[in-house]
Amino acid sequence: MISLPWYEQVGTQRTWFWRGWQIRYTYARPLGHDRVAPSAPSADRVSGTPMILLHGFGASLGHWRHNLEVFAESRSVYALDLLGFGASQKAPVLYNVGLWVDQVYHFWRTFIGQPVILVGNSIGSLIALAAAAAHPEMVKGLIMMSIPDPGVRTEMMPPALQPILGAIEGFFMSPLLLRPLFSILRRRGIIRAWLRVAYSHPERVTEDLVDMITQPTTDRGAARAFCLLCKGSSDPKFGTSVKKLLGSVDVDLPILLIWGKEDGMIPPRLARPQDFVKYHPRLQLIELEGVGHCPQDECPEKVNPIILDWVGKVIGNG
């Protein structure tokens, strides 16, 4: 039996142009419903609340390969390659959370036009939370997994040292240093080692997964985009702190936060996800034993039922 490559396993993929940039997205719907790509808001007649899935840093829509079709048994589900990642264009822009929020919002306006459940992993969680704060009309529920907090930088660093840190980061953000670093970081062996930090189960770091992360690094403009991503992420304006965002979203918005206890990228003992519960009255935290930074891909057999159960109880079928 011949297995399809990973990029052909994830839904029905299409290209969308946003601000002149090429964006890859995919979608799936329940069996028996029209599989033609929607061309306008409200084109989708499936009864369940639609979902939009947002991947993490360095990943792509392929990171939802074990989830998209499962979620689509009762609703339309969409996944995006964020600008600069996956098969989306490696655009020459300064990247930040606000840029990706705009991408998600305009995608929603173009193709969906009704409240959705936003689901994110890692930086995709931060983008989903920021989108819920900026555009409350588009979000009916929010699911986050292993969310990074830009506020940690300012909370932990004394104000007097921040200019010094900025100067040091400015030096290391030079393309003269970042481009050679990129040529090293995109090697399969390096990517495999990084994934083994992110995943607590080494057997889940398959060659398909390594391909998924490695392939986009060979795209035209990938090295330049990497430099701009690094420069953008070092800027204090890259994104708002999680605590501030939680305090600014609708108090009635249901939120599920999932965190792997073996997360090697954002260890829970340092991130203290239990503290986030204090900042929103409807936030529910679930910590998973023996799970790393990407729960949806590493342990979909645990995560999919949790998400579907939460959606059924909190959001319902409407």
Instruction: Select the more confidently predicted residue: 268 or 171.
Output: 268
In sequence order, the 6+-apart residues with CB closer than 8 A to the CB of 140 are 49, 115, 116, 117, 315
Place of tokens 């921040």: 162
What is residue 178's predicted lDDT score, i.e. its pLDDT? 85
DSSP string covering 258-306: EEETT-SSS-HHHH-GGGGGGG-TTEEEEEETT--S-HHHH-HHHHHHH
What is residue 303's predicted lDDT score, i.e. its pLDDT? 98
For the stretch 275-297, pLDDT in tens is 999 999 999 999 999 999 999 99
Structure confidence at residue 164 as a pLDDT band (50, 70, 90): very low
CA distance 228 to 179: 11
Structural domains for the chain: 6-315 (3.40.50.1820)
Query: 93 with 83: CB under 8 angstroms?
Result: yes
Cα–Cα distances in angstroms (integers) from residue 8 to residues 26, 59, 157, 229, in the given order: 10, 16, 45, 27
What are the structure tokens assigned to 94, written together?
């300064």
75 strand-pairing partners = 48
Q: What is this structure's pTM?
A: 0.90
